[in-house]
Amino acid sequence: MADLTSNFIGIKSPNPFWLASAPPTDKEYNVRRAFEAGWGGVVWKTLGEEGPPIVNVNGPRYGAIYGGDRKLIGLNNIELITDRPLQQNLREIKAVKRDYPNHAMIVSLMVPCEEEAWKAILPVVEETGADGIELNFGCPHGMAERGMGAAVGQVPEYIEMVTRWCKQYSRMPVIVKLTPNITDIRMPAEAAMRGGADAVSLINTINSITSVNLDTFAPEPTIDGWGAHGGYCGPAVKPIALNMVAEIARNAETAGLPISGIGGISNWRDAAEFMALGAGNVQVCTAAMTYGFKIVQEMISGLSQYMDERGMTSIPEIVGRAVPNAKDWQDLNLNYIAKAKIDQDLCIACGRCFAACEDTSHQAISMSEDRVFKVENDECVACNLCVLVCPVENCISMEQQAAGTVDERTGKVVEAEYANWTTHPNNPTGAMCNVMPDAE
C-alpha cells in the first residue's frame, strides 16, 4: 500500500492532511478529537500577543452560499483570532504535543508589525514544543483594520521584514500564510522567500459579502441590524486557490519553495489536485466544519487507493506532476482540433445542449422533429459547453481530430485554422498573429 507519511519542511506527520487554523483548532478538546479521527496535523487557531483580550461578536459569525439540495459550497466568517488567553492556549498546545508527538503541531501567529512584539511571542511558542509557526498574513477582516493580517500580507516589504524577524528570533520552521486579496500572488511569495521562509501556505480567505437580507437590507451575517465584510472559504474558492498555488509553483523566482495548499479541499481528489500543482501537503477547514472530523478517513482511504492503482508509493510522487503542464495561454497548441460527439444511446433528449449552443454559443447542434440532436461539425469550435450542461455523464464527449484528415462523419477535410499562426518576434505581449513562415 502507498505510504502516506508526510515530511513537509522537516515536519513529519502520519499523512499530509492538516486542519487549517480556524475554529476547529481553537482548543485542546477539538485538537485531540481531530488527531483521534486521523488528521495528520493541525495549525492551532491564530494566537495574538498578551494584552487586552480579543472580543468576538456574540451573534451570527457565518454566512453561506448554497448549491443544489442545500449543499454548502461557500462559507463567509467574521470571526477574529482566538479570544482565549494566550497562556491557556500555550498550556494546551504543550499538553497535546506531549501526548501526540508524531502528529504535526503548527501554531498560527498574528501580532502587531513591530519587532519587539514578534521577539516576545516567539520564545513562549517555541517552549511548547510546537513543530513550527505559521504567520497569519491573510485574515481580511477585523484584524486587518488594526494593521495586521491581510494589511501585512498585501505589502511585500512587510512580509519580508516580519519573516526575517521570525527566522532571526526562533529556531522553528516558518510558514508564511498568504492572502488571496492581492493582484499577483507571486510578489508576496517572493517576499516570503527573501525573508527566509521555509514554506508558504495559501490561500487564506477571500474578502467578501455573501448575501444581503432583502427585508432588513443588511449584509449577512447580521449583528444588531448591521453587517460587515468577512473571509470567504469553502469549495467555491478552490479554483482560485489552485491557480495561485500553480502560479507560485511554476514561477522561476519561487521554484522549489514548499507550499501548503489551502482552499476548498473537500475530498481526496481535491487534495491530489493541489499536490499535483505543487503543494507538499494540504490544510482543510470548511469540509471539517460541514461534515465533522471523520471526513479525513475518506481522504486517507481515497488518496491511498488512487496511489495504489497508479503504482505510486509515496506523496512526493504526486507533488508537482501537473506543474509542467500548466502554461500561459499563448503557449497552448492552436493547431489542436476537437469536435463534440453525442452518444445517441445515452442521450435522454432533454435538449439542454441544444438550448445552450443555439442561444449562447455557435449554433453547432441541430434538433430534428423527433428530438434527435446532432453536432454540426462545420460550426463546432469545441468550446465544451454542451459537455458541461449535459445532465448525463459521458453522453457528450470531445473527440480529437488530426489536422488535414477527413472527418468520416461528414466527409470533409479537417483543416488547421491556425497552422501559420506564431508569436511575432517584435510583439512584447507574446500574442499570436497570422504570420507566414517566410514572412519577416
Catalytic site positions: 139
Cβ-contact 43, 134 below 8 angstroms: yes
Q: Which three cell numbers stand for residue 219?
A: 449584509
- Pairing mode, strands 11-13 and 62-66: unpaired
Single out the residue of 267, 277, 266 nearest to residue 318, CA to CA.
277
Strand ranges (E), 221-329: 222-223, 226-227, 230-233, 259-262, 279-284
- Pairing mode, strands 218-220 and 211-213: antiparallel
Q: How far apart are CA 262 and CA 19, in angstroms?
A: 10
**DSSP assigned state of 354:** H
Query: In this structure, how many other beta carbons lie within 10 angstroms of the beta carbon of residue 144?
Result: 22
Q: How far apart are CA 97 and CA 40, in angstroms?
A: 12
| Alpha-helix runs per DSSP H in 127-276 | 150-153, 156-169, 186-194, 238-249, 268-276
Q: How far apart are CA 321 and CA 333, in angstroms?
A: 20
Query: In this structure, how many other beta carbons lie within 10 angstroms of the beta carbon of residue 92?
Result: 20
Q: Which helix (H) or strand (E) holds 302?
A: helix 295-309
- Pairing mode, strands 373-375 and 396-401: unpaired
